């Protein structure tokens, strides 16, 4: 089976993948990769910044710090995304 879900290996064109299905699959894979990268970045940066004494639960100040950190990261990501999108126009 190739990367597009086709089991044909003889090069015949009778079972070519649907371009819309390929685009949908790529979009889903990109979204998943972005979400994983986002979580890793937030986890690393916000944990280092906010969790001073790791334990079995978060203190109120740690919860508040993590919440603010995630909100700032989301806001910054949005600003960068909008700037990149406006440059592409």
Q: What CATH number is attached to the domain comprising 26?
A: 1.10.287.810
Single pTM value for the model: 0.60
Q: Report if residue 9 sits inside a domain.
A: no
- What mean pLDDT comes out for the span 64-82? 92
CA distance 56 to 69: 20
Residue 14 lies in a domain: no
Quick check: is 56 in a domain? yes
Specify if 6 maps to a domain: no
Residue 80 within any structural domain of the chain? yes
What span, in angstroms and rounded, lies between the C-alpha atoms of 6 and 19?
13
pLDDT at residue 1 greater than cutoff 60: no
Q: Is the pLDDT of residue 12 over 80?
A: no
Instruction: Check pLDDT > 90 for residue 63.
Output: yes
> Does residue 14 have a pLDDT over 70?
no
**What total number of domains does the chain contain?**
1
- Residues 6 or more apart whose Cβ sits within 8 Å of residue 69: 42, 45, 46, 49, 50
How far apart CA 89 and CA 82 sit, in angstroms, is 11
pLDDT at 85: 82
Sign of the dihedral through C-alpha 53, 59, 64, 67:
positive
């Amino acid at each position: 089976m190739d990367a597009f879900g086709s089991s044909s290996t003889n090069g015949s064109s009778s079972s070519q993948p649907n371009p819309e299905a390929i685009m949908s699959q790529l979009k889903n894979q990109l979204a998943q990769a972005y979400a994983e990268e986002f979580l890793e970045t937030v986890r690393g940066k916000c944990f280092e910044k906010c969790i001073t004494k790791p334990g079995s639960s978060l203190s109120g100040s740690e919860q508040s710090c993590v919440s603010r950190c995630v909100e700032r990261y989301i806001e910054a990501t949005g600003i960068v995304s909008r700037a990149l999108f406006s440059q592409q126009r």
